[in-house]
Structure 1
Amino acid sequence: MTLIDTLLGSGIFVLFLAVLIGMGFGRIDFGRGIKFGVAGPLFAGLVLGHLGLTVPNSYSGLTLALFVAAVGLIAAHEIEGTVKTYGLNFIGISVLMPTIGVALTYVWVTVVFADASTGLMMGSFSGALTSSPGLGSAIEALPEAAAQQYQIGHSVGYVVGVLVIVMFQQLYPVVTGMDIDAEKRRFSEKVSEVVDEEGPGVEEVTFSVIGFALVLVVGSVLGSIPIPLGPIGLITLGTTGGVLIAALVLGYLGRVGPITVRMETGILSEIRAFTLAMFLAVTGIDAGAGLIETISEYGLQIVVASGLNSIIAILGGLVVTRFIWEMDWIHAAGGIVGGHTDTKGLAAAIDATDSDEIAAGYGNTYPFALLAMVIYAKLLVAVVPL
C-alpha cells in the first residue's frame, strides 16, 4: 500500500482535507459580498465523496453532538426571552412548514409527476425537509418495495434540501442587503422587554470539560427516550434534539450540583466554529457517494420535487416570520431552520449572522416540527394510493 493509499484511507485525513479545501473555497468572494462561507466544507465533501473517499460513520454523530452542545450552551443565555417573546409563533412555524411540504408532495405524486414511481416521489417529503424521523415513520407503514423506493427518494431529497436551506441562510441576508447588526439590536431589545436578566445568577467559568460532557451525556439520554404517539408509534428526538435541549436547559440553569455548566462564550464559539466545519464536511462526504449515479438512474423529477418542497416551505416560513409577525432575523432564521428540521441550516444561519442566539428559536421550533413530520409522513402513506 502506497503512502497516498494510506492517506486516502484515513478518515482523519479525508475529513480535514474537506475542511481545508472547503474553508478556502468558502472565503472566495463572488461579488457583492456573496461567499459560500460555512457551506464550503459541505461542497468540498460532496466532491470528495463523489470521488469515492469516505469517513467512518461515527464521525457524523460525534461532530454533530459537539457542535449542537456548543451552540446550545451559548444560546442558553437568551432562551427565556425567546420563549416568552415568540413561543407560540415558533409552534406555528413548526406546523406550517411541514404542512406546505406534505401538501406539495401530494400534488407531485398524484398530479404533476403521476407517471413517476409513487414511493420515490413520496420520499421527497421527508428528504426535502431533512427529517430522518419522518423517513422512519413512512417506511414503517409502506410495503417493502415501496419502502425501498421511498428511501431512495428521501436520500436524493435530503441532499437537495440541505443545499437549499444552507444556501438560503448564507445568501438571503446578503442579497437583501440586510443589516445584521441592526437585526441583532432588534433581537436584544425584544428579549430585554420580557427578561430583566439572563437566567439565574451563576458565575461563568472559562470552560468546564465535565460540564460539557454532562450536556452530551444528558442530551444523548434525552434523545434516545421513546416518545409514544398512540397509533402513530414511537419517536425520539435524536442526537440533535436531545443535546440541544440539554444544552439550553442546563446552560440556562448554569449549575448542576457542584458542576458549572455556564461557560464563556468566546471558547464555546471557537468550539462551535471548529466542529461546524467538521460536521458539514462529513455531511458532504456521506452525501456525495453515489449521488450523481442515483440522480442519473431515477431522473430529475425527484430533484425538482424536493427542491420545490424545500424552497416553498422556506418561503412560507419567511413570509410569516418576517412580513406578518415582523420578527427580527435572529428569531426568524431560528424558526425557519427549526421548521425545516435541519441542523445544517442552523449552522449556516449562525455562520452568516455570527449569532448563536439563533439556536434558541431553533430549539423552540424543532421538536414540534419533528412531531409534525412524523404525523404527516403517516398521513401521506394513508392517503396516497400505491
Structure 2
Amino acid sequence: MLSNPYFLLFSSIFLGIFIGKFKIGRFKLGSSGTLFSGLFLGWLATTLLLKDNNLSSIQLLKASFHQFFLFSLILFISAVGLIASRDIKFIIKKFGSRFIAMAFVITLSGFILSYFFGKISGYNIYNFIGVYSGALTSSPGLATALETVPDFQDEITFGYSVGYIPGVLAVILSMYLIPVIFKIDISKEKEKLASEITFEEDKINNFDFMAFSFVIIVGILLGKININLGIIQFSLGMTGGILISALFLGSLGKVGPINFKMNKKILKSIQELGLLMFLSSVGLKSGYNTFNNLNEKTLILMFFALIIALFSILIGYIIGRYIFKLNWIILSGAICGGMTSTPGLGAAIDANESEEVASGYGATYPFALLGMVIFTKIFSLLN
C-alpha cells in the first residue's frame, strides 16, 4: 500500500482533516493539517521502500506526487480566481495602490533580511539567494536566480529546498495566530468589510465545465508568456497565469456562449478538494528530504528561512493594518499574495471562513511575483 500514490494521497487527506479538527484555544490547523500528515507519510513510505531497495516504486511515487501537486494547484487556483472575480473590481477600485505597495514591501523586507543573514552567517551567500526564494515560496524567484548565476545552481537550489517548508509553515501558522496575538475579532472584520463593499449575491445555479476548462487553458498559455522589462525578465508561471485568467474572465461574466459565472458552492467544493490535494502532495513529495537531510547546516538555514518569512509577514501586517488601515479579511489575502503562498491562501480562507480573502490575494500576487524577480536579480548581482 505504501507504494500506491493514491492510497498515500487520500490517507494524508483523511489524517490531515482529522488532525485539523483539534483546537488549542482559538487555534486549529484546519485544512493545513494535511501538510503535516503528508510530510509524515511521505517520509515513512520512502524510508520503508528504501529498506526493501524498491527504487522503482520510489521514482513512481515522486512522479505521481508531482502530478498531484500540479493538478491540485490548477483546481485550487482556478476555483479561487473565479470566486474572487465577482468582487475584484470593487476591491481594486477601493484598495488598488495599497496592494501594489504591500507586494513590494513584503518582498523587499525578505530581501533585506536574507542579504543581512547571508553576510553575517558565514554560510555560502548563494545558499541565501535560494533561502530567500524558498522562504517566500517563489518559484519565479528561484528561476531568476538560476538564470542570473548559473555557476551556483546547486547552492541556490539547496537553499530553496531548505527554505521552502519553513516558508510555507510560517504563512499558514500566521493566518491562524495573527488574529489571536493581535486580538482581531474576525466576525467584526467581516461586518465592516460588508458595510464598505457590496459583494455580489450568489444567484447562479449552473456550473459550466467548458468555461472552467477554458479558464485553465488560457491561464496555462498566459503563464508561458515571457515578460521582458529590460534587464528584468519573468513569466507568471502556471499559478499566476491561471489566477489572472480566472479573475479576468470571471469578471467579464459571459463571452459569447461561454458563461464564466458559476455556482459558488460548487466552486468552493472544487477549491477545497484542490487545497487538500495540494497541501497533501507538497507534504508527500517533501517529507523524506525534510526529515532525512536534517543536520546542523540545514537546521540553521531552515531557522533563518523561518525568521525571514515571519519578518516579511510581520512587516506586511504592520504596514497593511496600521498605515494602510486594511480590513483583516482583505489584508490576510494580501499578505499571502505578497508571500506568493498558495497554501497560505488556503489557510487564510479556512481561518477566516471567508472567500473574500482571495480578492486581496489576487490583487497582490502578480506584483509580488514582479518584486521577487527584481529583488532576486539584485541579490544575485550583488555577489
TM-score scaled to structure 2, two decimals? Answer: 0.92
Query: Residue 238 of structure 1: CA displacement?
Result: 1.3
Question: Residues 214-293 of structure 1 correspond to what in structure 2 (within 5 A)?
Answer: 214-232=214-232, 234-293=233-292
One-letter identity of the residue aligned with 2:22: I
CA–CA separation in structure 2 for the residues paired with 1:325 and 1:338? 16
CA–CA separation in structure 2 for the residues paired with 1:176 and 1:110? 33
CA–CA separation in structure 1 for the residues paired with 2:318 and 2:85? 27
CA–CA separation in structure 1 for the residues paired with 2:286 and 2:195? 40
CA–CA separation in structure 2 for the residues paired with 1:158 and 1:101? 13
Q: Tell me which moved more, 236-245 or 158-167.
A: 236-245
Q: Would the aligned equivalents of 2:81 and 2:244 in 1 still touch at CA under 8 Å?
A: yes
The match for 1:206 is 206
Query: Residue 172 of structure 1: CA displacement?
Result: 2.2
The match for 2:57 is none
Question: Residues 255-334 of structure 1 correspond to what in structure 2 (within 5 A)?
Answer: 255-296=254-295, 298-334=297-333
From 155, 167, 173, the equivalent of 1:167 is: 173
Question: Residues 135-146 of structure 1 correspond to what in structure 2 (within 5 A)?
Answer: 135-144=142-151, 146=152
Query: Residue 298 of structure 1: CA displacement?
Result: 2.9
Q: Tell me which moved more, 293-302 or 307-316.
A: 293-302
One-letter identity of the residue aligned with 1:47: F
Query: Residue 348 of structure 1: CA displacement?
Result: 0.6
Q: 1:121 to 1:294 in 2, by over 3 A?
A: farther
The match for 1:158 is 164
Structure 2 counterpart SS, 1:235:
strand
Q: Would the aligned equivalents of 1:223 and 1:236 in 2 still touch at CA under 8 Å?
A: yes
The match for 2:76 is 67
Q: Would the aligned equivalents of 2:129 and 2:145 in 1 still touch at CA under 8 Å?
A: no
CA–CA separation in structure 2 for the residues paired with 1:134 and 1:77? 30
Q: Would the aligned equivalents of 1:37 and 1:170 in 2 still touch at CA under 8 Å?
A: no
Sequence identity (%): 38
Query: Residue 254 of structure 1: CA displacement?
Result: 1.2
Q: Would the aligned equivalents of 2:134 and 2:161 in 1 still touch at CA under 8 Å?
A: yes
CA–CA separation in structure 1 for the residues paired with 2:205 and 2:28? 35
The match for 1:109 is 118
Question: Residues 41-80 of structure 1 correspond to what in structure 2 (within 5 A)?
Answer: 41-53=34-46, 54=61, 56=64, 57-80=66-89
From 79, 91, 95, the equivalent of 2:100 is: 91
Query: Residue 189 of structure 1: CA displacement?
Result: 2.1
The match for 2:368 is 369
**Structure 2: gaps spanning 5 or more residues:** 47-60
The match for 1:133 is 140
For residues 130-184 of structure 1, give each alpha carbon's deviation from its aligned partner in whole angstroms, at most 9, with x where no partner exists: 111101111112243x221111011110111001001111222244443222211
From 7, 12, 26, the equivalent of 1:13 is: 7
Structure 2 counterpart SS, 1:8:
coil
Q: 1:334 to 1:52 in 2, by over 3 A?
A: same
- What stretches of structure 1 move > 4 A for 4+ residues in a row? none
**Structure 1: gaps spanning 5 or more residues:** 1-6
For residues 275-314 of structure 1, give each alpha carbon's deviation from its aligned partner in whole angstroms, at most 9, with x where no partner exists: 2111110111122121123331634221121111100000
CA–CA separation in structure 2 for the residues paired with 1:176 and 1:369? 25
Q: Tell me which moved more, 50-59 or 151-160.
A: 50-59
Q: Would the aligned equivalents of 1:85 and 1:190 in 2 still touch at CA under 8 Å?
A: no
One-letter identity of the residue aligned with 1:38: S
From 17, 22, 28, the equivalent of 2:22 is: 28
For residues 28-85 of structure 1, give each alpha carbon's deviation from its aligned partner in whole angstroms, at most 9, with x where no partner exists: 122x132111110000011112224445121111101101111111111110111001
Query: Residue 101 of structure 1: CA displacement?
Result: 0.8
Query: Residue 208 of structure 1: CA displacement?
Result: 1.2
Q: Would the aligned equivalents of 2:162 and 2:298 in 1 still touch at CA under 8 Å?
A: no
Q: Tell me which moved more, 312-321 or 255-264.
A: 255-264
CA–CA separation in structure 2 for the residues paired with 1:171 and 1:27? 16
Q: Would the aligned equivalents of 1:123 and 1:152 in 2 still touch at CA under 8 Å?
A: yes
CA–CA separation in structure 1 for the residues paired with 2:343 and 2:132? 18
CA–CA separation in structure 1 for the residues paired with 2:12 and 2:76? 17
RMSD: 1.8
One-letter identity of the residue aligned with 1:108: F
Q: Would the aligned equivalents of 2:87 and 2:200 in 1 still touch at CA under 8 Å?
A: yes
CA–CA separation in structure 2 for the residues paired with 1:82 and 1:350? 17
TM-score scaled to structure 1, two decimals? Answer: 0.91
Structure 2 counterpart SS, 1:289:
helix
Structure 2 counterpart SS, 1:300:
helix
One-letter identity of the residue aligned with 2:42: G
Structure 2 counterpart SS, 1:355:
coil
Q: Would the aligned equivalents of 1:156 and 1:295 in 2 still touch at CA under 8 Å?
A: no
